[in-house]
Structure 1
Amino acid sequence: MMDLKTILLLLSWPDLLSAVFTILCWGGVGWHVEHPRQSRPSVNRLMRRYRREWMLNNIDRSPRVHDATLLGSLRDGTAFFASACLIAIGGALALIGNTDRLDRVAEELNMGPTPAILWEVKILLPLLLITNAFMKFVWSHRVFGYCSVMMGAIPNDEQSAEARSRALMAAELNIEAARSYNRGLRSVYFALGALGWLLGPGALVLTTLVTTATIWHREFASASRRLLLAGPTDEALRDMERDNP
């Protein structure tokens, strides 16, 4: 059994630097999405307002079947991704135990012989990212459950200070669940990008840059963000149709 020091000695400097670069991009873009400048909020930050408005509008809505359906769909999404992550974790563990197929692929691509331990290390990076995603999705599912309980505890009384207080508490639980859900999605994206390491450090850097750019675009330059900023006006809808023919 090789220790960590031996494994690090087997990895080349380009491999080590590309792996560190991936981890830094994963953490950096996540921090930027959750802590954007006030002048340029992310989609994640913009949605907080609508989550609070949803819970406040829930105060005088009776029955609350519509709200329960919406929250149920959010929980279903977290459960789906958590299940998919479990399957991916199982597949990665099976591949770590059998790297012969990767050796054959490397030979066909003229990549030269590679020690089995290096294949295992390269699979370990996406495995860790997908494991983190699984934990985030499970926590998100649980917090959405807390939110549903808090929603049920909101009195149907617009004039009640307790109703507004509980609605805002439910909104913060909803925001926290969404934060964990988005963190899980980012981990999934970067886990897919980390598979580029199997082709070498240059491929890992390239797939990491593509993943980072994709997340940045969706949070700061997407049509969805422009619509959230402008509201459903005729001008905004025309812009959406022009940008997405």
Structure 2
Amino acid sequence: MTWVDWAALALFFICWLGYAPILKFIGRHGGSLNDDMSHVRRVWMASMTHREIRLVDSQLMGHSINSASFFASTNLLLIAAVGGILFGGESKLEGFAAVGADNVPTRILEAKLALVLICLARGFLDFIWALRQMNYTLALIGSAPEINKEIDRKAFGEAAAELLNPALSSFSQGVRGYYFALAAAAWLFGPLWLALGVASSFGLLIYRQEASPAARAIRNARRLLGE
């Protein structure tokens, strides 16, 4: 590999693995969409404890579980496709290279495909962990007792939120894996494409967290719900 490949690869890992702390630093004053949604979900779980019939909460959780299941299934198909090329032997790699990938030695091509596979595999594990935590949260909602004391309602709501927020954070990490898998796939066409793909994916993710219409709407809703 050339020094350009190594530089682009370093940029990739900085943006991929350092996304969370970088986002936290950028949003240290105004917050981010993820932070605002964490607050919204805490309010949701607090409101759940005041409802006698929690059908709507179960339906909302079911929708989230279905979404995570869909992404996990899609991710598994992509892993199978990339793995089929990577471990399918020399003929599969040569056939794949013939459709437009950068003209590099087979070992380098394998490394590029492996990077895509790693991104997808990590995303798949995030989706699986998100699903498990969502099911745990659903069990908490179903087992929520009739609580008369406000202090107990607050404690139970906070406990449920402490389970729900990490679940949805894992889901977000899994979705984010698609962005970086696409960036990694751009490396197949050369290191400059990798750098461009990483910068584009990272910039798009930050924009959606900080300045998108959805981020502004959720930020306004958080203010209405109270800090």
Structure 2 Cα separation of the partners of residues 216 and 37 of structure 1? 10
TM-score, length of structure 1 as denominator length: 0.83
- 1:203 to partner: Cα distance: 0.5
Q: 1:200 aligns with which of 178, 190, 208?
A: 190
The answer (yes or no) to whether the contact 1:33–1:44 under 8 Å persists in 2 is no
Select between 94-103 and 158-167 the one with higher mean Cα deviation.
Answer: 158-167
The answer (yes or no) to whether the contact 1:155–1:162 under 8 Å persists in 2 is no
SS in 2 for 1:39: coil
SS in 1 for 2:31: coil
Question: Does 1:81 pair with 2:71?
Answer: yes
Question: In the alignment, which residue of structure 1 is the partner of 2:9?
Answer: 19
Question: In the alignment, which residue of structure 2 is the partner of 1:6?
Answer: none
Question: In the alignment, which residue of structure 1 is the partner of 2:119?
Answer: 129
The answer (yes or no) to whether the contact 1:43–1:220 under 8 Å persists in 2 is yes
Structure 2: 5+ residue runs without aligned partners?
A: none
Structure with higher RCO (Cα < 8 A, 6+ apart): 2
SS in 2 for 1:157: coil
Deviation by residue 1:208-227 (Cα, 9 ceiling, x = unmatched): 11100110000001101111
Question: In the alignment, which residue of structure 1 is the partner of 2:213?
Answer: 223
5 Å-filtered alignment, 1:208-219, equals 208-219=198-209
5 Å-filtered alignment, 1:60-209, equals 60-96=50-86, 97=88, 98-106=92-100, 113-209=103-199
Select between 42-51 and 13-22 the one with higher mean Cα deviation.
Answer: 13-22
C-alpha change, 1:166 and 1:45, in structure 2 (3 Å) is: same
- What RMSD in Å do the two structures reach over aligned CA positions? 1.9
Question: In the alignment, which residue of structure 2 is the partner of 1:241?
Answer: none
SS in 2 for 1:176: helix
Deviation by residue 1:184-210 (Cα, 9 ceiling, x = unmatched): 111111001111100000010001111
- 1:170 to partner: Cα distance: 0.5
TM-score, length of structure 2 as denominator length: 0.90
- 1:179 to partner: Cα distance: 1.1
Structure 1: 5+ residue runs without aligned partners?
A: 1-10, 234-245
- 1:38 to partner: Cα distance: 3.7
Matched residues, number? 219
The runs of 4+ residues in structure 1 deviating greater than 6 Å are: none
- 1:117 to partner: Cα distance: 1.6
Percent identity for Structure 1 against Structure 2: 27
Deviation by residue 1:113-143 (Cα, 9 ceiling, x = unmatched): 4322211111111110110000000000000
Question: In the alignment, which residue of structure 1 is the partner of 2:19?
Answer: 29
The answer (yes or no) to whether the contact 2:41–2:161 under 8 Å persists in 1 is yes
- 1:36 to partner: Cα distance: 5.2
Deviation by residue 1:81-129 (Cα, 9 ceiling, x = unmatched): 11111111100011112112233124xx8x5x43222111111111101
